[in-house]
């Protein structure tokens, strides 16, 4: 859309691709600022800053590709994978974990605490384990999972915390 002299827009940002003399494609981010207007509002001067963002775009593409690979692996893995918030609520689980827990889908238990599926004795085992999640160490523990139909599944859970730069637990991941 053309930049209307009468508009009060003072900045416009666009991304575009262009080919360099060596015939390589690059991504650019162009930021245009109105530098000067006449008394009637007509744009007299614009300052533009153009940045090569090819590396950023490639990083984003690689991240999307990596996320897709993880999702494909997770969705087809026969081992249960459970991703919890720092507070212990379900954020994600793969289909194998849904089968282990006897639930139809992750959406049916998203946001619910893992405590709802672990027997009281197993919760005590978890509480008394010697590994502190804040250290970032992985932990392996035997637990009994209680399914919604009341049946139990004896499992060996292996989990590890996801820590932020300050060492705070962002989430917990396990299988």
Per-residue model confidence as pLDDT tens digits over 166-175: 888 889 899 9
Q: Could you give the maximum distance between any two Cα atoms of the chain, in Å?
A: 79
Q: Which residues are CB-contacts of 35 (< 8 A; sequence separation ≥ 6)?
A: 44, 45, 46, 47
Residue pair 9/3 in contact by the 8 Å Cβ criterion: yes
pLDDT at 6: 58
In which residue ranges of the chain is pLDDT below 70? 1-7, 130-131
How far apart are alpha carbons 103 and 94 in whole angstroms? 11
Distances in whole angstroms, Cα of residue 99 to Cα of each of 38, 47, 74, 160: 69, 59, 14, 22
pLDDT, the chain, mean: 89
Judge if pTM exceeds 0.85.
no
pLDDT at 4: 63
């Amino acid at each position: 859309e053309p930049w209307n002299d009468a508009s009060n827009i003072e900045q416009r940002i666009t991304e575009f691709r262009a080919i360099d003399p060596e015939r390589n494609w690059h991504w650019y981010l162009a930021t245009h600022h109105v530098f000067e207007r006449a008394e009637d509002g007509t744009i007299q001067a614009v300052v533009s800053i153009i940045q090569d963002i090819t590396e950023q775009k490639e990083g984003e593409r690689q991240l999307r590709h990596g996320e897709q690979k993880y999702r494909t692996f997770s969705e087809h893995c026969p081992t249960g994978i459970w991703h919890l918030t720092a507070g212990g609520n379900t954020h994600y689980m793969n289909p194998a974990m849904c089968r282990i827990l006897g639930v139809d889908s992750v959406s049916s238990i998203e946001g619910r605490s893992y405590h709802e599926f672990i027997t009281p004795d197993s919760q005590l085992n978890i509480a008394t384990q010697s590994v502190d999640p804040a250290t970032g160490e992985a932990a392996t523990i035997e637990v009994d999972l209680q399914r919604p139909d009341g049946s139990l599944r004896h499992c060996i859970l292996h989990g590890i915390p996801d820590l932020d730069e300050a060492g705070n637990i962002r989430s917990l991941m396990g299988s």
